[in-house]
Amino acid sequence: MTESSSQQIELHGHPVTYHRMGKGPAVLLVHGITSSSRTWREVMPALAERHTVIAPDLLGHGRSAKPRGDYSLGAYASGLRDLLVALEIPRATVVGHSLGGGVAMQFAYQFPERVERLALVDSGGLGSEVSLVLRAATLPGAEYVLPLMVSSPLRGATAAVGSVLGRLGLHANADVKGMAEGFESFRDADARRAFVHTARSVIDPAGQRVDATDRLYLAAHVPSLIVWGDKDRMIPVKHAYEAHENMPGSRLEIFEGAGHFPFNDDPERFVALLLDFLATTKPAAFDDDLVRQLMLRHRS
């Protein structure tokens, strides 16, 4: 990803940074908690050879604004809708990683007419289990502990950050690469506050408290791809198998040996997989009657 692809737009009085590359059918890449659009830098150029690729920094992340406000999945989904409207992109294939997967599912639920396909990558929102690191962030006083994680001697020391992440059970190399950026962002007080508010909106000390599994049947009319690293220590791979079972017609791809960031472990395979998914499936055609029938069929 080059700096020249970075752009900024103001939405509701808040600057939102995003990267836009390529031409063709739109693909919206949604990053995870503490991350930013930079998380996609290894795969975005190749995807942009055939598609218009949009990768925003969600509010509270990266170079976007970090206001005091709503950091719920619904608010993030509405922000993505507003960005697509502003960019005159009516529909897109939505790819969400980690928290971004939960946002992607919420987006598909709130704005189904804007979703052509759905891809979930080591996604949140598919079960209660989540790493101790994120559960700890919801405890009282977490915002006062976070600065210690990037204070001297850890400040600016990627190797040291990697060591900390390793001790917390994260997969070496690729996960360290993916998470180190987030740890560095904790230097900023506004970013720390946004992180804590975001974490608490979806997680409590017992685990994830936002669960989309009771509505996954609604994905029957949307081509869906589930990608997971089988060594993920943040969100267990069993969520992938359970989601696949509950999402009719979904495609499941497990990256053996990969952790929470499979697109960092093997970016070429990830790009090839996503391009094949895009090329071999037809965009969803939103049908209100079909959604109504599905919901009535699944009444308790």
Contacts 24+ apart (CB under 8 A), 192-195: 192/143, 192/146, 192/147, 193/66, 193/68, 193/143, 194/59, 194/60, 194/61, 194/66, 194/71, 195/33, 195/34, 195/60, 195/137, 195/146
Is residue 221 annotated as part of the catalytic site, yes or no? no
Among candidate residues 36, 64, 98, 250, the one labeled active-site is 98
Catalytic choice (78, 260, 265, 266)? 260
Query: For residue 207, what are the β-bridge partners?
Result: 204
Residue 77 contacts residue 106 (beta carbons within 8 Å): yes
What tokens does 20 get?
């836009």
Q: Does the annotation mark 171 as catalytic?
A: no
Asked if residue 25 lies in contact with residue 51, where contact means CB atoms within 8 angstroms, the answer is yes
Q: Which of 232, 244, 250, 265 is catalytic?
A: 232
64 is catalytic: no
Residue 183 to residue 146: CA distance in whole angstroms? 9
Quote the DSSP letter at residue 29: E
Tokens of 286: 């939103």
Instruction: Write out the catalytic residue numbers.
Output: 98, 232, 260
